[in-house]
Amino acid sequence: MKIKLLIYPLFLFAIITGCSTKNEDESEEIIPPVAEKVPQKLSGDRTDNYYWMKLTDEQKNAEQKDDQTQKVLNYLNAENDFLKTNLSHTEALQEKIYNEIIGRIKQTDESVPYKDNGYWYYNRYEEGKEYPIYCRKKGSLEAAEEILLNVNEMAKGHDYYAVTGLQISENNNLLAYAEDSVSRRRYTVYVKDLTTGKITDTPIPNTEGSVTWANDNKTFFYTRKDSTTLRSRWIVKHKLGGDPAKDLNVFDESDETFYTGIYKTKSDKYLVIWSGSTLTNDYQILNANIPDGKWQNFSTRERGLEYSIDHLQDKFYVVTNLDAQNFRLMETPESKTAKANWKEKIAHRKDTLLQGIEIFKDYMVLSERAMANNLMRVIEQKNGAQHYLNFGEQAYTVYPSTNIEFDTELLRYGYTSLTTPTSTFDYNMKTKERKLLKQQEIVGGYNPDDFQTERLWATAQDGTEVPMSIVYKKGTKKDGNNPTLLYAYGSYGSSTDPTFSITRLSLLNRGFVYAIAHIRGGQEMGRQWYEDGKMFKKKNTFTDFTDCAEFLIAEKYTNPEKLFAMGGSAGGLLMGAVVNMKPELFKGVVAKVPFVDVITTMEDTSIPLTTGEFDEWGNPKNPESYMYMLEYSPYDQVKPQNYPNMLVTTGLQDSQVQYWEPAKWVAKLRDMKTDKNTLLLRTNMETGHGGTTGRFKVYKETAQEFAFIVDLAGIKE
């Protein structure tokens, strides 16, 4: 017997029997939707049969849908129906995993308070509520609570709702914040009068989502986006009570490869406009007491010069790659900020990446990275005495937390590992004593001693040693038969650090091994690690991942019938590349919001992110770049072969990786793959790149992804 999915009006797709999936009892075939082929000629003699799936924002969001829009929406809905039918036998498992995950979350919870300008700030959650409540107390933690925003109330009536960028004016009376109820990352700024509780200014649409107050309590600056590309382009000055339509642009970042934004230095003395591309940074500064003054260039923009700045007393500190691949620390007088005046304070080290600094009156804290681990170095300003914090684990993550005060001996930092729940510490830089302020509570109990974490090193094809962080339940035998999930990202110099996860426990408790491959393209091993995983070396990212997979198999952690892979966004590109290259290594793959149509996307400068990423992937107008990208672009390299079981996800409103990339990819895979393995596409019709909002409902999608993997591993509960 064959089950035919609901065919919507205007659904112009063929239903064929050559590509089908059997349900659990193997008695019924479920026929997937197969997209109509409409050949579209593209550059380089490429033909895209599914180019018609691309819709504009106007088409997607119009109240009356035209035929083309309805055709695309029907296809996506049909794929969602196919996914639901195909995974119907896992619904009980999905519900069980979901309940496990939310059952570990402490329902009534509160963040560690921090002090700023006479108030203690924190957020808290109430039992059963999806969103945070932002609060403060004046003077002491014993004072009466003042609720700044109750996001639960604000989110009512919205399928998607996000609040970001909370900023308090210097007089403590005004709160600026931004909201997005579409998931397109186009935020509307509001100002709330904290003495009356009312919105006091005209909402400002189409912003990046945060503001920076000047010190006069009536002026703030925000970043406005290009409406088409969503690139952060303009820095705009707003006076309270003024018409946002008449706000003054104080800076226009006209270079399409750059993004821009604004912040205030920790000293509160300077406003800073930053501009940045993949390879270059640029800054302008203005005294925060004179918001109508003239902005000053920090130093001349110079391609390839990367740096960040902060201010203390009469100096600026500069973390830069100037003659220093792994960055070094410089200082310069605030009156002479050009590059020629920079003087070295901390020298470059070939084996250690300097990531950033935290400045205090008597101390400086350096965030560094070496051998795939974060390091934290404390230096006394007066005498240069220094020491490193010791954390006692092979693989971990540490980072500075909220450190607003200058004149203090206390450093607040966050710590976590694959076995240690997220923890917040205060560390006395003088006495070297540390105090645990809060550790994430796992409801129902959790014992880190039940689990084992390791740092492994796989040898890549070119002899490079690639680190992996791995965790599993103690007592797990290395007999080659353990279900294993291998995760990675590997792009933009973004490192994937080992952190604790309440969701992952649902896999570990079912006997899974979980591994993070710290592949080239991130910065886990320093800046060279990134350089060796981008542009004309991008393929190292993919081969590193398959080499890590083969290492896990060779060392008998798992086997190809039990090995699964997961990655999202640029990590989804990774998933697409490796299933084309070595599909036989994996039983199943979850590709989340995957960037898979590399050439076509990089040729379309109207798409968000494209112009700013030519130095990451290459500009297809360059023939060499074009051919190199074509060799790995997952969509272009789909071919007649067997593929693993796959679950692909996207969001209709995604501004980072447009929904049509994964949708087209799935359609092409359906047409060309030679196996009968499961291929599923899940499109969240309400959200974008980050998926669903809400403290609990976000885990519905996680539970579905885990159930997909667990079921394929032969585990039914």
Give the residue numbers annotated as catalytic, written as ranges.
569, 654, 689
Going from the C-alpha of 231 to that of each of 124, 161, 252, 599, the distances in angstroms are 33, 21, 12, 20
Contacts with 26 (C-beta within 8 Å, 6 or more apart), sequence order: none
Nearest Cα residue to 558 out of 470, 646, 488:
470
Nearest Cα residue to 684 out of 647, 717, 653, 656:
653
Nearest Cα residue to 265 out of 317, 305, 300:
317
Three-state helix/strand/coil letters over 580-623: HHCHHHCCEEEEECCCCCHHHHHHCCCCCCCHHHHHHHCCCCCH
The SS3 assignment for 138 reads strand
Torsion angle, alpha carbons of 712, 715, 716, 717, to 10: -130
With contact defined as beta carbons under 8 Å apart, do 271 and 214 qualify? Answer: yes
Cβ burial of 435 (10 Å; 0-12, 13-18, 19+) is: exposed
Cβ burial of 202 (10 Å; 0-12, 13-18, 19+) is: middle
Nearest Cα residue to 250 out of 241, 266, 239, 265:
239
With contact defined as beta carbons under 8 Å apart, do 687 and 700 qualify? Answer: no
Torsion angle, alpha carbons of 340, 344, 350, 353, to 10: -100
Torsion angle, alpha carbons of 635, 277, 227, 591, to 10: 30
Nearest Cα residue to 572 out of 602, 544, 592, 599:
592
Query: How many angstroms separate the CA atoms of 628 and 609, rounded?
Result: 20
Give percent helix, percent strand, percent coil of the chain, each to the nearest 5: 20, 35, 45
Nearest Cα residue to 400 out of 433, 383, 377:
377
Contacts with 613 (C-beta within 8 Å, 6 or more apart), sequence order: 278, 602
Nearest Cα residue to 434 out of 398, 389, 474:
389
Query: How many angstroms separate the CA atoms of 601 and 526, rounded?
Result: 29
Find how far residue 264's CA is from the centre of its chain: 24
CA angle 599, 600, 603 (to 5 degrees): 85
- The tokens for 158 are 């919205």
Any idea which residue has 């792994």 for tokens?
326
With contact defined as beta carbons under 8 Å apart, do 664 and 50 qualify? Answer: yes
Neighbours of 82 (CB within 10 A): 20
With contact defined as beta carbons under 8 Å apart, do 565 and 580 qualify? Answer: no
- The tokens for 388 are 């490193």
Any idea which residue has 């500069």 for tokens?
318
Contacts with 105 (C-beta within 8 Å, 6 or more apart), sequence order: 443, 502, 695, 696
Neighbours of 467 (CB within 10 A): 20
Helix count and strand count (H, E) for the chain: 13, 42
- Phi and psi at residue 623, in whole multiples of 5°? -55, -40
